[in-house]
Amino acid sequence: MRNIVKNNDYPGYVLQCNEELILDSGKIIKDFKIAYQTYGSLNKEKNNSILICHALTGDQFPAEKNPITKKSGWWDLMIGPGKTIDTNKYFVICSNVLGGCVGTTGPNDINPENNKIYGIDFPTITIQDMVKLQKILVDELKIDKLLSVIGGSMGAMQVLQWAATYPNSVRSAISIAGALKHSAQNIAFDEAGRQSIMLDPNWKNGNYLNEKTKPENGLSVARMIAHITYLSDAAFQQKFGRNLQEKKDLSFGFDIDFQVESYLRYQGKSFVDRFDPNSYLYMTRAMDYFDVSNQLIENKKTIVSNKIRFLVLSFTSDWLFPTKESRSIVSLLNSVGSPVSSAEVVSDRGHDSFLLDVPQQFKIIRGFLEGIKI
Amino acid sequence: MRNDYKIIFDLIPSNSKVLDIGCSSGELLSLLNQKENIQTQGVEINQEKVVKCLENGLDVVQGDINQILEDFPHNQFDYCLLTKTIQTVNQPDKLLQLLKKVGKNIIISFDNSNYYKRVIEFAFKGSFDKLLQKSNKEQWFNSPNIHPCSIKDFTILAKQLGFNIIESFDVKNNRRFKFPKTPSNIFCKEVLFSLNT
């Protein structure tokens, strides 16, 4: 049984599903919930829906003001009335991913089997598992075919997974700063982040919520490592150079001397307030396991016969998901016989460019969406 | 509409898969999409032109034709189109070899450098500017046209690379000619060849 309820804790909705879902690992989750938000309205023909897939630390509130943080949504520059993804025109749906910590079932929820918080008893999840949940939501909203599925980074993984798993249900797919599979270097960064969390004594073998503690230092360092990968050499240089933090001389110690240190520590600390450490483990693992190449090849007939249109975007200074990864996506789509569009956007702001005010990105996406008739 | 586009439109049958290399803002691709069950793909280096294509619902990969074709799978396209572009490529011979793998047929158009009016103008003006420029803006040193060629040059290369010339057109007069019987290398201003292997 499924029913949609208004979210009690904050704006948005929760789809409650009293059923079982078999995950890629073979494990089963029971009685799960999907927290989501929508913007704009669904038209009569139900053909103007766009699903937004969030990245690792995103949530279901891309547009307007985020009701939790009270700051602008993570893609408020992209989504809204008159913006690139125009909510006067499109019905925009965004849900918190499976394993997330903003309302959708994840490791910080209660396990219905034993009424205890899951912790690391939560099953390992994949990008496809996340997408399966999104499909349940889209079905429940009675939408047969999404006009587009759009996302950056881990969101781009979900986008490609949608095309591979549900080629009958999407008209177009926009992958931004994404890849067909997680690279060895990216798995390495994820592992460093996870080890940082798991080696924090407050992690308590994943049981920190029951023990009323939190591996804050570990999560903070994980975020610091990750944050470096989201920027670029040029971005760091322009923002901070070797400027000192509120001092004129070096301290000859290990306190904060440089502005960049202060910035990173701040990034780490503020992340701790809004993110669950176990969620971080599960979601980075899902990214590590991601490799959608074979599924795209297996489903090529359906992809081609549905004439799914793909747009693959990358940024010149992104070294986490560099343009060569996007070129592999283009190459694979071409080899399965699917037309594809791509562009490399000039930006010196690294992987995070997809979240920033990069007008050329908006222009390309707007153009692509205009080319898809409602 | 450009004459070479008209000829290409007539040459390409319905149900074809077409790759247009250097597709600009997609005029030719839009034209071809009027045909039944045709699947098109463009390649263009200029991002503003890519956006134009996207707005018109065309699928275009942004990329440098000197590199991007290596990303394209073999035998995926029925027709590869190269209209007035070969003279801008770093290594036309390598590009043609790549095209041979990517597509079954190749249609190529270019300005014949040995066209008598060009030769006379060059002889009397004594400057490469006019011969090389793509628009009025360029001179010999900054022109994108780095590899101008004559019909003779091209057909020698095509033969070396193992291509068969299936059709030859005098583009300006929209007229087929039998190659190499007519003195086309002198009197044809712009040429279009349809090749296969």
Give ipTM to 2 decimals: 0.93
- Say if A305 is an interface residue toward chain B (CB within 8 Å): no
Task: Please state the separation of Cα B179 from the chain's center in Å.
Answer: 18
- CB nearest A368 (choices: B54, B63, B76): B54
pLDDT in tens, B18-77: 999 999 999 999 999 999 999 999 999 999 999 999 999 999 999 999 888 888 988 999
Burial of residue B73 (number of CB atoms within 10 Å: 0-12, 13-18, 19+): middle
Q: What is the pLDDT of residues A195-211, one digit of tens each?
A: 999 999 999 999 999 99
In sequence order, the β-bridge partners of residue B41 are B19
Taking the CA of residue B193 and the nearest CA in chain A, the distance in Å comes to: 26
Q: How many CB pairs under 8 A join A and B?
A: 61
Contact (Cβ atoms closer than 8 angstroms) between residue B114 and residue B53? no
Contacts B58 to A, Cβ<8 Å: 341, 371
- Whether A318 is a known active-site residue: answer yes
Q: What is this structure's pTM?
A: 0.96
Q: Do the chains contact at B51 and A367, CB–CB below 8 Å?
A: yes
* For residue A8, pLDDT beyond 80: no
* pLDDT band, very low/low/confident/very high, at A99 (cuts 50, 70, 90): very high
Interchain CB contact of B169 with A (< 8 Å):
no
CA distance B195 to B197: 7
Tell whether A367 lies on the interface with B, counting CB pairs under 8 A: yes
Sorted by where each starts, the structural domains of chain A and their CATH numbers stand as 2-183+291-370 (3.40.50.1820), 186-284 (1.10.1740.110)
C-alpha distances in angstroms, A187 versus A193, A283, B21?
10, 12, 36
* pLDDT value, residue B181: 62
Beta bridge partners of B83: B109
Task: Report the distance separating Cα A277 and Cα A279, nearest Å.
Answer: 5
Residues A334, B63: C-beta atoms closer than 8 Å: no
pLDDT tens digits, B170-180:
999 999 988 76
Cα distance from B81 to chain A (closest Cα, Å)? 16
| Residue A153 falls in the annotated catalytic set | yes
Q: Does the annotation mark A139 as catalytic? A: no
Domain ranges of chain B: 3-113+147-196
Q: Which residue of B has its CA nearest to A329?
A: B71
Q: Which residues pair with A195 in a beta bridge?
A: none
CATH topology of domain B3-113+147-196: Rossmann fold (3.40.50)
Antiparallel, parallel or unpaired: β A341-345 and A309-315: parallel
| pLDDT tens track for A129-178 | 999 999 999 999 999 999 999 999 999 999 999 999 999 999 999 999 99
Q: Which of B25, B5, B1 has the alpha carbon at shortest distance from B109?
A: B5
Confidence of residue A11 (pLDDT cuts 50, 70, 90): confident
- Output the DSSP codes for A315-352: ETT-SSS-HHHHHHHHHHHHHTT---EEEEE--SS-GG
